[in-house]
Each structure stands twice: as C-alpha cells, then as structure tokens.
Amino acid sequence: MSHPKDLVDPDQHFFEARRKVFPKAVNGTFRRLKWAIMAVALVIYYVTPWLRWDRGPYAPDQAVLIDLAHRRFYMFAIEIWPHEFYYVAGLLIMAGIGLFLVTSAVGRAWCGYACPQTVWTDLFVHVERLIDGDRNAQIRLEKAPWGPAKIAKRLSKHAAWLIIGALTGGAWIFYFADAPTLFGELVHGAAPYVAYATIGVLTLTTYIFGGLMREQVCIYMCPWPRIQSAMLDEKSLTVTYKAWRGEPRTHGLKRDAAALPENTGMPSLVALANDPALASRVGDCIDCNACVAVCPTGIDIREGPQIGCITCGLCIDACDGIMAKVGRPPRLIGYTTDLDGRLAASGREPLTPIKRLLRPRTLIYFAVWAGIGMGMLFALGNRTRIGISVLQTRNPQWVRLSDGAIRNSYTVKIRNMEARPRTVEIGFSGVPGVIWDETSSREKGGRTVTLAVPADQVARVQLFVAAPASGEERTPVRFGVRALDAEGGSAADDSFFERPE
C-alpha cells in the first residue's frame, strides 16, 4: 500500500506566491470620482480635530472630541454621555445597514471609493508614481540591479510613506484631546507616552497596510468580500465585462484570422472600422490588457466576478479609452447587473434604474436604516438634560434613632447635562418623613433638599431619610430631581426604605 506522501506531487504548489501589482495611471470619469472622494475623505480626517465649536465656558470648544478622561463624546452640538452609549451603538448599526443597502444597490462601492484602506492605498500609489514613475518605469526599476539611483528612489518612497503614516497617527490622537494643546505637547516632548505609542502603532500599520500589503488586505484580510455575497442579487450593479459584446476577442491591433472570412488575412483596426460586416464577425475586445494594467488588485475583470474586484471603475476608464481609439462604443466594461447582462445578451432592453433600485431587498434595508435614524433623532430631541441615580447604603441597612424613628441613607448622583451650573431640588415619596444631606441635620430636614450641580458634571451627595418605624419591612420609595431654572426638567429613580422586622 502506498504511503500518502507518495501521492503528493513535489512540483505541485497549493499556494501561489504574491505577484506584485503595478497599477497604471488612468484618466476618466471614475478616476476623477476617486480623486474627489479621496480628497474629501482626507480633508475630513485631517481637518476635523481642528474645527472649533462654542459650547460655553464650561465645556471644550473642539467640534469633534472623544473625551475619555471625562467620559464624553462631543460632535458639534451633540454631547453623548456614558449612559447614552446606545446612540453610538445605533450609529454603528446604521453604518452596517447602510453598507448592506449600498452593496445591494451598487456592489462594493464602499470598497472601491471610500474605505480607509482604499483611500490610503490610493494615496500611497500616487506617491509611488511621483517618485518611481508609472507602471512600466516601476517594473523596470523593480528588475534593475541595486545602485545609487534605485537606492535613492527606494529611500525617498518609503520615507514619504512613513511620513504619511505618522501624519495619519498624529491626526487620529487629536480626536481624543484638545488638538492645539496636544500638538504643542508633542512638539515639546511633553505629551503622554500613550500619544507617542499610538502614533508609532498607527504609523507602522498605515505603512504596512497601505504601502506594503495593499491589495492583500482587501483579498485576504478583509471579511467584507466574503460577506457581500449575501447582500448581492441579480439586480445589484457591479463592474462587469460584457462578454456578449467583447467575444470573441481580437489580439493587439490585428484580428484573429480564425474568426474572419477567408482571404481577409489579419486586417488592421482601420480596415475593420471601415467594414461593418467584417467587424460584426468578432468582438470589441482587442485583448490589450489595459483593464488589467490599471487594476489596483491586479485582477482580470474579463474572468467574471471575483473576490479581488473592489468595483473602483478604473478598468472602465481604461477600456473606454481603448474603445475610443479603435472606434467602438464605450462601456465594454461597465456597471451593470447580472439580469441586465442576460437581457442585453438576448437583445432585450435592460431594467430602468428605478426598477433596479426599488426592489424588496433595498426597500427593507432602507426602511430599517431610516427607522433607526428617525428613532435616534426623536430620542435625541426629547432626551432630558438632567438625571438622577440612587444607590441605597447597605451597611448598615437601617439605623434606629433616639425617638424610635428609622433612618436609611442613600448615595445619590445628580447628572447635569447642560453646559452651565444648575440648582436642583431633590425630593422623595413613598414614606412619610424628612430628608437631609450630609452637611445638614434631621432637625433642619424637610421633604426636599437643594443642591448646586456644576456644569456638565455629575454631583454626588449622601442623603438621609428618617421615617416612622411602623410600616412594611421594605417599602418602595421614589426619589425625584427637579431643576429650578427657567428651562426646568426633571427625572426620577426608584429605591427602597428598609425597616427592622
């Protein structure tokens, strides 16, 4: 019996080594769209921490700030407190459902245009072109022996990538502290160590993912290409090579002799352009590989749907340029749906954009997405700006006073969500008796206690309640807080009053 090792061909390889991709520069509609989106995304990322927003003298004036020290999240006029983290969760859920909606409608548009990996990789590729030249120059430089010129270019390119990575990490930490203050501390070496560590980590990851790994992140590391198949259907727009129009292919500037009538030889494209009957015998694709040369992941879109396609549309621009040169209609490669492709191949009209977009899948995604958004807006607009949290002291549960009355103590936290100090009144209901705080006494107590709460802070106070000894062993009580200013506002929290058995 043969050993399993004997069945393995030593020359057979199950894993293909990486073939470095050298994307060629291209001009066209989708390239300009990518330029615009990249510019907007980078400006938003780098500029946002420096925007100011006046919230008054008691709150930070940075427009977008994740204040971990004080457990706040500021976004322009909105302030999110720790107990309101459900707003952040809601935004994340909306982002996920929005991604489902976009994918079901126009494929991996997020991957092709707005994903941070795509944006930074595109930026790194353009820097590489500025230093090394376009595709052919990069290939020649890659094969060239090491020398002063190659070393200088390599050092320049990688230094530029590291600078971009450092700027990326530097911009990120500005979201977590006052940007001008932190920038001054960084320059003078007085910033916290965690700031320098964060910049170092993000510099390294940006350099590796955007400069070295590039398309490998999209193909092997990112889970979204594998998830998106559940989002797509036959009416989803994807970048598609229209084989019904492009096949059979020609080769270079000559037509395939096997596809042409006898005695025509290998006529030039000019001859085919002047002879429609002859041109109708072959497809529009001249097998120039322009679509492959510009692809940032190095795939051949003519091989059909594949995980490496991020639907960036650069192959459309490249192919349109070739079609214009050979006198053929544009969009041999274009955004289309699987259903439209089948209809076009059979000579029928494709679906209208309205029918393509308004289908159950997209309508359900949009309804869920809009419903969550409307619910969050409603909750945000109607949320109370004051809150109360009551925790009963358990050790001891109760104390018997000299006159026989029973005293319970409570730790009460009053949350003032306004950017100004407020005076509030705390009261209770459920048992007869009096309430007082740690600075007063039972003799001065009453049914309410007045407290000053600093702006945008949580005030903590120890309160005592004395009530008659007669009554249930455990009586529900409710504590309420009411703002005494013109804007008003109130909140309540429930607890218990304990008595001996």
Residue 262 pLDDT exceeds 50: no
Residue 208 to residues 155, 212, 308: CA-CA distances in angstroms?
Answer: 15, 5, 19
Task: Report the b/e string of 173-182 with b at 16+ CB within 10 A.
Answer: bbebbbbeeb
At 271 the pLDDT is 52
Mean pLDDT of 21-41: 97
Site of tokens 């490669």: 333
- Which one-letter DSSP state was computed for residue 333? E
Of the pLDDT bands very low, low, confident and very high (cuts 50, 70, 90), residue 381 is: confident
Q: pLDDT digits over 461-501, tens only?
A: 999 999 999 989 999 999 999 999 888 889 999 999 999 98
Q: Output the average pLDDT for the chain.
A: 90
Q: What would the mean pLDDT of 258-266 be, rounded to a whole number?
A: 45
Segment 333-346 mean pLDDT:
90
Whether 400 and 469 have beta carbons less than 8 Å apart is answered as yes
Instruction: Give me the phi and psi of 312, to 5 degrees please.
Output: -80, -20
Write down the pLDDT at residue 259: 47
Q: Is there a contact between 375 and 93 (Cβ–Cβ < 8 Å)?
A: no
- Residues 54 and 62: their CA atoms lie apart, in Å, by 8
The residue to which tokens 């006159």 are assigned: 403
291, 318 in Cβ contact below 8 A?
A: yes
Query: Directed axis angle between helix 116-132 and helix 148-173, to 10°?
Result: 150
**Residue whose structure tokens are 């809150």:** 387
Please give the model's pTM, rounded to 2 decimal places: 0.84
pLDDT at 266: 42
- Residue 12: the pLDDT is 64
Rounded-to-integer distance, Cα 464 and Cα 406, Å:
10
Please enumerate, as own/partner, the contacts of 90-94 that have beta carbons within 8 Å and a separation of 24 or more. Answer: 90/372, 90/375, 90/376, 91/376, 93/372, 94/369, 94/372, 94/373, 94/376
Give per-residue pLDDT as tens, 181-218.
999 999 999 999 999 999 999 999 999 999 999 999 99
Residue showing tokens 């911009």? 171
pLDDT of residue 6: 58
C-alpha dist (Å) from residue 194 to 50, 199, 371, 387: 20, 9, 39, 33
Q: How confident is the model at residue 4 (pLDDT cuts 50, 70, 90)?
A: low
Which residues does residue 461 pair with via DSSP β-bridges, in sequence order? 412
Q: 187-196, 226-235, 424-433, 437-446: which has the minimum mean pLDDT?
A: 226-235
Amino acid present at 35: W
- How high is the pLDDT of residue 18? 81
The C-alpha atoms of residue 249 and residue 469 are separated, in whole angstroms, by 97
pLDDT in the model for residue 309 = 92
Let me know: does 120 contact 162? Beta carbons within 8 Å: no
Q: Which of 450, 452, 410 has the alpha carbon at shortest distance from 426? A: 450
Q: Give the pLDDT score at 265.
A: 45
CB atoms within 10 A of CB 164: 20
Q: How confident is the model at residue 391 (pLDDT cuts 50, 70, 90)?
A: very high
- Per residue in 274-289, pLDDT (tens digit) is 555 555 568 899 999 9
